[in-house]
Structure 1
Amino acid sequence: MTTSPPLDGLLVIDMAQFLSGPSAALRLGDLGARVIKVERPGVGDICRTLYLSDTDIDGASTLFHAINRGKQSIALDYKINADRAALVRLATHADVVIQNFRPGVADRLGVGPAVLRAANPRLVVGTISGYGDDGPWADLPGQDLLAQALSGAMWLNGDAGDGPQAVGLSIADMLAGHVLVEGVLAALVRRGIDGTGALVETSLLEALIDYQFEVLTTHLNDGGRLPRRAAVDNAHAYLGAPYGVYRTSDGWLALAMMPLDRLAPLLGLDLSGDPFADRDAIKARIAGRIVQRTTDDWMAVLRAHDIWCAPVLDWPALLASDAFARLGMLQETDVVTTTRPPLRIDGARASNPAGAPAIDQHGAAIRREFNL
């Protein structure tokens, strides 16, 4: 039996730009909602031209195509009275509106949450800022690398002798988008119970603080003592040897937590000592042995004894693996090859062949449909 996706029939207005807000709208679209993206006339979402790489498709960045697939586009200028009024009318038909303006900007433009919810009390408005709505950081650019720097996450990465290391992904944007979706879905459930809308708010900083809740909890309950990163193959400042990523003769091998007395005979090493107090010395001995053989050699030895380990794969190796193929995580839109949603509902993973829209591609039809 074929069932409708869970958000089928809901209308989402995506007023956001770049990555965090549009990624939230994308997730709602993958769950079945119709998503109308509102863009600036002639210019569109800044993500169209702020390149992720030197690769573009039809004049727009691959990032834009990945994060806006399956959406419709209408161009509205909020500084024009008629367009602003059209946006508010459109919001009266919507279930969810997604915004990621800097604090106060949407209100100054007359399209903030209060205005939209006054026009539609059942509306759920989701907003993402950089660092919250007030305070000394509120007006700073809500940009992923800057949020990583301020959050402490960047400081925590790398070996003890390294400087701060950024995560090589837009992790603050993506996490904030996921957090917002979680709150929006909860608000929609409540609306189904009592009929009221909601304002759901998060920020890049809040998402990254939550991302670190495990280690921050340890820090807060340890007298404020800072963790000591391992000097050798660090992977987690609060975990002892052998936890880390080690060079082999032809690649890299990740070793997770395990009793050292289980690992020692397989490596032919004396690994006596405290996993924390003697961490660097123990890991140095492990590193010296691991580098002597290939990754496949070590995988054969270690997995046969249920040692938690994995090779470090690059993208071609991941994409070529049978495990990846079985997940069915890729899809072809009419513009790009990209990923599919990372969840299945009733055994089915969503797929949408529609690519990202051109600026105002659906504007005329949307204006007619909603009498804008």
Structure 2
Amino acid sequence: MLPLEGITVLEFAQFMAGPSAGLKMADLGARVIKIERPGSGEAGRQIAIKNLFIDESSMVFHTANRNKESYAANLKDPADLEKVKKLIARADVMTHNFRPGVMEKIGLDFEVVKTINPQLIYGVVSGYSSKGPWAKKPGQDLLIQSLSGFNYLNGNANDNPTPSGLATSDIFTGAHLVQGVIAALIQRCKTGVGSKVEVSLLESTIDIQFELITTYLNDGEKSPQRAKKGNAHAYLDAPYGIYKTKDNYIAIALVPLTSLTKAMNISLPSEFSSKETWFPKRDQIMEFLSPYFEKESTQYWLDIFEPLDFCCSDIYSYKQFLNHEGCKALQMIQEVETSDGIKMKTTRCPIRIDGERIFKRKSAPKPGENNASIEKEFNLN
């Protein structure tokens, strides 16, 4: 039995942050019912990566919405809204990521909903929280990364501001929503009363930068300085970073500079002998090391460093990584199937319960696919 079995979640969310939270709850056993527009469904169905679609919905939609049900309802229609309120009365959790004020207009804001179901956990995802000068701005991953200072952590010193190659803000916000919802469910077990859980893309993106923002605030508010070449962390000493080798690249993490140069059988110049120089002279040290790394292959260096238990790694492409036995042993890839029998490969839930991996065969539903069965089960007609 999975931990969230018996929990019903109504998901009014779209795009990535809210649906990714629903995905994790579904993986952990919750029944997640997407409340969508009749016909077209949620807007995220048409947001595609590389224009890849599975049936009428994008492949990325399927990645964030597997193992869910879909109930189509026009929230502006009084009859449909009444049906949705009956669902709310029987649910444990509902989530949405509409802009501030939208749920109030519809009549499904927290103050109304808690009169329908006092035990409900009401989860809200916003872009910038519900108050402040940015409250009604569109909350989108790239915009949040750009506003939060995050883009000055990636790339090298002379690069333009560089965002993450992932929907980083969205995905962390979804994870934070799940944490808040599960905490609220535990609290409900103690009090019998539901609560409102709020997260925002901006607050989550601040949170994931906690070590760097804390450094900035307590170090004279000096801006982070990316390494000139091979940057991997704006605040860590050399030799931390990425180095070109004879045939590829190598990642060097938390290895003391003196230990590294000893293993490489090179003499460290006296100007770098003091540990106090390893951050302020980071660029010069990395430039000094680079020609030595380039003389030999990545495997040559790994054969020296790994027996010494150095934190170092080869740098793989997806093709190399996904075909490596180290990845295959994790069994992170699964096949899911739509109601039409279309199959696609995707990742599984990364959490194991009592040693068991969680695999879910069901892909995302079509808009309104489960209306008939849900209306019958919940006596909505």
Task: Give the structure-2-normalised TM-score.
Answer: 0.94
Residue 195 of structure 1 is matched in structure 2 by 192
Contact 1:78 1:111 in 2 (8 A): no
Residue 202 of structure 2 is matched in structure 1 by 205
Residue 311 of structure 2 is matched in structure 1 by 308
Is 1:360 the counterpart of 2:372 in the alignment?
no
Give 1:251 deviation, angstroms.
Answer: 1.8
Return the alpha-carbon distance in structure 2 between the equivalents of residues 45 and 191 of structure 1: 30
Return the alpha-carbon distance in structure 2 between the equivalents of residues 318 and 79 of structure 1: 48
Give 1:288 deviation, angstroms.
Answer: 1.8
Query: Superposition pairs for residues 9-48 of structure 1, below 5 Å?
Result: 9-48=6-45
**CA root-mean-square deviation:** 1.2
Return the alpha-carbon distance in structure 2 between the equivalents of residues 121 and 291 of structure 1: 65
Give 1:86 deviation, angstroms.
Answer: 1.3
Residue 357 of structure 2 is matched in structure 1 by 349
Contact 2:11 2:96 in 1 (8 A): yes
Give the counterpart letter for 2:281 in structure 1: D
For the residue of structure 1 that corresponds to 2:353, the secondary structure is coil
Return the alpha-carbon distance in structure 2 between the equivalents of residues 44 and 62 of structure 1: 15
Give the counterpart letter for 2:268 in structure 1: L
Return the alpha-carbon distance in structure 2 between the equivalents of residues 293 and 141 of structure 1: 49
Give 1:163 deviation, angstroms.
Answer: 1.2
For the residue of structure 1 that corresponds to 2:24, the secondary structure is helix
In terms of mean alpha carbon deviation, does 240-249 or 167-176 score higher?
240-249
Return the alpha-carbon distance in structure 1 between the equivalents of residues 20 and 152 of structure 2: 26
Return the alpha-carbon distance in structure 1 between the equivalents of residues 291 and 317 of structure 2: 23
Give 1:148 deviation, angstroms.
Answer: 0.4
Residue 116 of structure 1 is matched in structure 2 by 113
Residue 340 of structure 2 is matched in structure 1 by none
Contact 2:152 2:224 in 1 (8 A): no
**Equivalent of 1:164 in 150, 161, 166:** 161
Give 1:223 deviation, angstroms.
Answer: 2.2
In terms of mean alpha carbon deviation, does 223-232 or 158-167 score higher?
223-232
Aligned residues: 369
Contact 1:69 1:356 in 2 (8 A): yes
Residue 216 of structure 1 is matched in structure 2 by 213
Query: Superposition pairs for residues 122-137 of structure 1, below 5 Å?
Result: 122-137=119-134
Return the alpha-carbon distance in structure 2 between the equivalents of residues 149 and 271 of structure 1: 39
For the residue of structure 2 that corresponds to 1:287, the secondary structure is helix
Return the alpha-carbon distance in structure 2 between the equivalents of residues 281 and 72 of structure 1: 56
Query: Superposition pairs for residues 175-186 of structure 1, below 5 Å?
Result: 175-186=172-183
Return the alpha-carbon distance in structure 2 between the equivalents of residues 24 and 110 of structure 1: 23
Return the alpha-carbon distance in structure 2 between the equivalents of residues 281 and 74 of structure 1: 60
Is 1:297 the counterpart of 2:300 in the alignment?
yes
Return the alpha-carbon distance in structure 2 between the equivalents of residues 35 and 368 of structure 1: 17
CA offsets 1:26-78 (integer angstroms, 9 cap, x no match)? 11111101111111111111111111222111121111111100101010111
Unaligned runs of 5+ in 2: 338-342
Residue 317 of structure 1 is matched in structure 2 by 320
**Equivalent of 1:226 in 203, 223, 227:** 223
CA offsets 1:273-325 (integer angstroms, 9 cap, x no match)? 12112111110111222122222122112112222100111111111111111
Return the alpha-carbon distance in structure 1 between the equivalents of residues 52 and 11 of structure 2: 25
Query: Superposition pairs for residues 48-59 of structure 1, below 5 Å?
Result: 48-59=45-56
Residue 243 of structure 1 is matched in structure 2 by 240
- List structure 1 runs of 4+ shifted beyond 4 angstroms: none
Give the counterpart letter for 2:314 in structure 1: P
Return the alpha-carbon distance in structure 2 between the equivalents of residues 231 and 368 of structure 1: 63
Identity value in percent = 44
In terms of mean alpha carbon deviation, does 41-50 or 122-131 score higher?
41-50
Give the counterpart letter for 2:296 in structure 1: R
Contact 1:8 1:32 in 2 (8 A): yes
Residue 340 of structure 1 is matched in structure 2 by 348
Give the counterpart letter for 1:327 in structure 2: L
For the residue of structure 2 that corresponds to 1:333, the secondary structure is strand
CA offsets 1:103-151 (integer angstroms, 9 cap, x no match)? 1111111122222222000000111100111211111111100010011
